[in-house]
A and B are shown apart, each in its own frame.
Chain A
Amino acid sequence: DAGVTQSPTHLIKTRGQQVTLRCSPISGHKSVSWYQQVLGQGPQFIFQYYEKEERGRGNFPDRFSARQFPNYSSELNVNALLLGDSALYLCASSTEGDTQYFGPGTRLTVL
């Protein structure tokens, strides 16, 4: 069975640009969560979606937005990129239960 997939693998952007990251959950999973992991730190929660509805939002500015599609895949958008947005962006999928399974992440570098 395929796990959580994310695209692209790596991305390089300049300050002020906008970026869209994509995630496909494990088949049958209806919940997708997004996390930001800065180098050397633990992941920080950004968003959670369940059945296309936002279920939770972390302490991130409005430059960060997300959505979930009818097939349960998800996109994370970040506008007006800052140097501090450079991080590994992780997507996790889950069913109704607590267990979250993470994808390989998208490495975003902002120059």
Chain B
Amino acid sequence: QQQVKQSPQSLIVQKGGISIINCAYENTAFDYFPWYQQFPGKGPALLIAIRPDVSEKKEGRFTISFNKSAKQFSLHIMDSQPGDSATYFCAASTGGAAGNKLTFGGGTRVLVKP
């Protein structure tokens, strides 16, 4: 059962444009929502993360928006650059005594055209 659904599967954006990736989750026990960036042949690298008590978090050109009632969260990449071309994964975990295993979305392949 896929507990984190990610869309779109791929997107193409012009340099300087905004990339928007959306995720929806089912498990209301999730309390930590990170985004990872992965380049071909490499491991995922943490970009930014948010907890449910915050509706928005911004770090540089990357912003997470979180809607707890809708069980949705999204990543906005502002002023997209060719170097941002990668696959992006949203994830969620419950933490605590049960451990903090990450449940990942299916990924979004982003291509930024110069």
Q: Which residues of A contact B (CB under 8 A)?
A: 4, 31, 33, 35, 40-45, 48, 50, 55-56, 58, 90, 92, 94, 97-105, 107
Contacts and interface: CB of A to CB of B under 8 A. Distances in A.
Contacts of B105: 42
Contacts of B43: 4, 90, 102-105
Contacts, number: 64
A52 to B, nearest CB: 14
A86 to B, nearest CB: 15
Contacts of B98: 55-56
Interface of B: 6, 32, 34, 36, 41-46, 49, 89, 91, 93, 95, 98-107
Given A35-B102, A58-B101, A100-B34, 18 more contacts: A43-B44, A43-B89, A44-B104, A48-B100, A50-B99, A56-B98, A56-B101, A90-B43, A90-B44, A92-B102, A94-B100, A98-B34, A98-B95, A102-B43, A102-B45, A103-B43, A104-B42, A104-B43
A101 B100 contact: no
Contacts of A103: 43
